[in-house]
């Protein structure tokens, strides 16, 4: 069986504070470590009242200080929002604090609306267009400096933090293959290009100094509970959140509801269910059946799970049950 990892957005649940959201991320990382997960990643989003991980490197340090073994990192840092030097310094610092545990996942999207994106990095179009060159610059800043290299990241140089490319399109598959990078596909919210992206990445992968063979991670939304009905109720929070995104409504992460009837229109229901069609929701038996099929279809090297559950205790229970599900699948294999 492949390793399981967790993607966290530090959800600010309705009725709770940013401080509580960040503390929940700490507890979730500790629980993930206790149950043998491979990585705990945090994602960069801005201007969203339901997400507390905007200052991503700081939150990574927060969960790193609360854990001892699990890998920590970004899933991802949206590189067009930043200069490569700043990210090299930030992640070089994290690597110095938590040696051998840090990953740097990079995305090309802004992770927010365009007004906020312009406030983050005013020359946004140039940032997106220079994405491949910015990755190469980051590799140079995080590696051993050359004799004629005058631009140095301190901390950063010589840290060799592993770089991942994240994506939801075929562009990222081509780029990760060409640069010989580890690749994570955002199938938890962008399912349509998944299988084609996997094929492109594997078929066109060029070995690099960092990676001899392709390494592919895929994502799912996941909620596992003691019963199907309980898991489905918890998952209505994510369904509501996606409806709100389509309506351009910004609000904290919603409380679950007993039914989505009356919450979404037929068109919204179709759209959200299509977007979340790879979601793994249910008891261990139900979730196991769907997850086994998904992993068989993708042949992925690693699975990363986003578990946005409003109640933190139910979220931690889902982390535990998902780990148990992995153990059951290993035993069956």
Q: What is the pLDDT of residue 149?
A: 87
**How many whole angstroms separate alpha carbon 207 and alpha carbon 177?**
8
**How many whole angstroms separate alpha carbon 105 and alpha carbon 97?**
18
Q: Nearest 10 degrees: CA dihedral of 303, 66, 323, 162?
A: 20
Q: How far is CA 90 from CA 97, 107, 146, 255, in A?
A: 11, 16, 21, 34
Q: What is the pLDDT of residue 88?
A: 98
CATH number attached to the domain at 1-161: 3.20.20.30
**How many whole angstroms separate alpha carbon 188 and alpha carbon 164?**
17
Domain ranges of the chain: 1-161, 218-333
Q: What is the pLDDT of residue 123?
A: 63
**How many whole angstroms separate alpha carbon 131 and alpha carbon 175?**
10
Decide: pTM greater than 0.85.
Answer: yes
Helix (H) or strand (E) holding 325: helix 312-332
Mean pLDDT by 10 residues, the chain (333 residues): 95 97 98 98 94 97 98 94 94 98 92 73 64 94 91 96 96 96 95 96 96 98 97 98 94 97 96 96 94 95 96 98 85 69
DSSP character for 306?
E
Q: What is the pLDDT of residue 130?
A: 86
- What angle do helix axes 228-246 and 284-298 make, rounded to 10 degrees? 60
Q: What is the pLDDT of residue 111?
A: 60
Q: What is the pLDDT of residue 125?
A: 59
Angle at the Cα of 217 (from 200 to 227), degrees rounded to 5? Answer: 130
């Amino acid at each position: 069986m492949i390793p399981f990892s967790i993607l966290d957005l530090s959800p600010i649940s309705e009725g709770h504070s940013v401080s509580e959201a960040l503390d929940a991320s700490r507890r979730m990382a500790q629980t993930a470590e206790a149950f043998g997960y491979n990585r705990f990643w945090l994602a960069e989003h801005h201007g969203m009242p339901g997400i507390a991980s905007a200052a991503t490197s700081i939150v990574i340090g927060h969960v790193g200080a609360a854990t001892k073994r699990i890998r920590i990192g970004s899933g991802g840092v949206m590189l067009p929002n930043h200069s490569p030097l700043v990210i090299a310094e930030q992640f070089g610092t994290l690597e110095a604090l938590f040696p051998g545990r840090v990953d740097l996942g990079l995305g090309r999207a802004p992770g927010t609306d365009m007004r906020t994106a312009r406030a983050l990095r005013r020359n946004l179009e140039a940032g997106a267009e220079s994405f491949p060159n910015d990755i190469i610059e980051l590799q140079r800043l995080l590696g051993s400096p050359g004799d004629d290299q005058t631009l140095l990241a301190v901390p950063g140089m010589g840290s060799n933090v592993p770089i991942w490319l994240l994506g939801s399109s075929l562009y990222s598959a081509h780029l990760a293959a060409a640069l010989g990078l580890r690749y994570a596909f955002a199938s938890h919210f962008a399912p349509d290009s998944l299988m084609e992206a996997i094929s492109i990445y594997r078929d066109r992968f060029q070995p690099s100094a960092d990676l001899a063979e392709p390494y592919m991670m895929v994502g799912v939304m996941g909620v596992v509970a003691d019963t199907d009905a309980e898991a489905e109720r918890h998952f209505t929070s994510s369904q509501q959140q996606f409806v709100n995104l389509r309506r351009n409504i910004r609000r904290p992460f919603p409380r679950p509801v007993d039914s989505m009837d009356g919450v979404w229109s037929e068109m919204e229901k179709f759209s959200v269910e299509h977007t979340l069609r790879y979601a793994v929701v249910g008891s261990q038996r139900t979730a196991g059946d769907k997850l086994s099929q998904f992993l068989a279809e993708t042949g992925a090297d690693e699975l990363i799970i986003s578990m946005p559950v409003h109640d933190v205790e139910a979220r931690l229970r889902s982390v535990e049950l998902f780990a148990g599900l992995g153990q059951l699948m290993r035993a069956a294999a």
